[in-house]
A and B are shown apart, each in its own frame.
Chain A
Amino acid sequence: LPIDLSFEDLVREHQALVFRTLLRLTGSREHLDDLAQDVFLRLYRALPSFRGDALVTTYLYRIAVNVAQDEWKRRRRDAQSLVSISDETSGWEDRLQHPGRNAEELLEEHEFQQMVDSQLQRLSNIERAVLVLYHQEERTYEQIAAALGLPIGTVRTHLHRGRKKLREGIEAKRVERHAAAGKGAECTNRG
């Protein structure tokens, strides 16, 4: 931690990273503020043992993953159903203004994004963490291994397995949808 950087500066510098990582890991905007606050308070407590050769972001990712895992445990305890990661503040209507793409394409893309996000929540905590850190946060295998305290080979395995599960989940969902759409059309034809 640079000496001239206050804790408030540090929070300000990394807050967006923590918010979006937590959002993807928990799949919900609910309690996001509280969780992010928890991450930074845990970081503060860990600062005395902070090693200069480690990046603050490595610590932050590790803590964010732990906080997200605790949140999942809490939800399981409360027996809450899975919450969709639907973007409440910037819906697909906003994205319709994007030039060069028609509304149908954007809607389809938005639905696909939702499907990926919901399937992501079905993965194990560790698979989800690896996928989010690798794809969304653009971390290297080494950085993920350092953040999660895993060997690099294990990170690779989780990444591969996580992607495979995601793909299978999406394909199953699509088949389900096509079947439902087929049934709907059949009923309409009969009617």
Chain B
Amino acid sequence: MNPEDANDTLELRLTRALENKPEVTVPAGFAARVASQVPARRAVAISPARYGLLATRIGMAVLFLALFVVAMRASDRIAVTMEWVLCAELAGLAVWYGSFGSFSRQQ
């Protein structure tokens, strides 16, 4: 065998030896033993960020203030119409907010 062939053979054998996974015997009940040593996990209270909810609250507050401001100047037809529109928007938000609250409690 020439030196190049010998080198290739050695490389091949080396790779094979390295790729050979050693046989291991995991003791019976190892997983249970390890798991018994860790403290019981406390239930983690997950409170996801609810930016939509926050925006709704702010929107409701702004609408409420706007209702007062418009009511104080409600002398013409446009202002009254505006008042009704704002009222409707506030009612819609209130209904949505209420249903969302009960939905999230169910979860």
Contacts and interface: CB of A to CB of B under 8 A. Distances in A.
A20 interface: yes
Contacts of A132: 18
A36 B20 CA distance: 20
B17 interface: yes
A117 B21 CA distance: 11
Interface string A11-51: 11001100110011000000011001100110010000000
Contacts of A16: 24, 26
B10 A135 contact: no
Contact of A23 (B13, B24, B33, B34): B24
Interface in B14-37: 14-15, 17-27, 30-35, 37
A41 B37 CA distance: 8
Contacts of A15: 26, 30-31
A94 B18 CA distance: 20
Contacts of A36: 26, 30
Contact of B34 (A41, A117, A120): A41
A39 to B, nearest CB: 9
Interface residues of B, number: 25
Nearest to B27: A33
Interface residues of A, number: 38
A160 B41 CA distance: 44
A69 to B, nearest CB: 19
A178 to B, nearest CB: 13
Contacts of A135: 15, 18-19
Interface stretch (A82-90, A96-104, A146-154): A82-90
Given A19-B24, A171-B10, A11 B18 contact: no
Nearest to B37: A41
A90 B22 CA distance: 10
Nearest to A114: B17
A131 interface: yes
B38 interface: yes
B23 A90 contact: yes
Interface in B78-99: none
Contact of B10 (A12, A136, A167): A167
Contacts of A131: 18
27 contacts: A6-B35, A7-B34, A7-B38, A7-B41, A8-B32, A9-B31, A11-B34, A11-B35, A12-B31, A16-B26, A19-B26, A20-B24, A32-B24, A33-B27, A37-B33, A40-B34, A41-B37, A89-B25, A90-B23, A112-B17, A113-B17, A136-B19, A136-B21, A163-B14, A166-B18, A167-B10, A167-B14
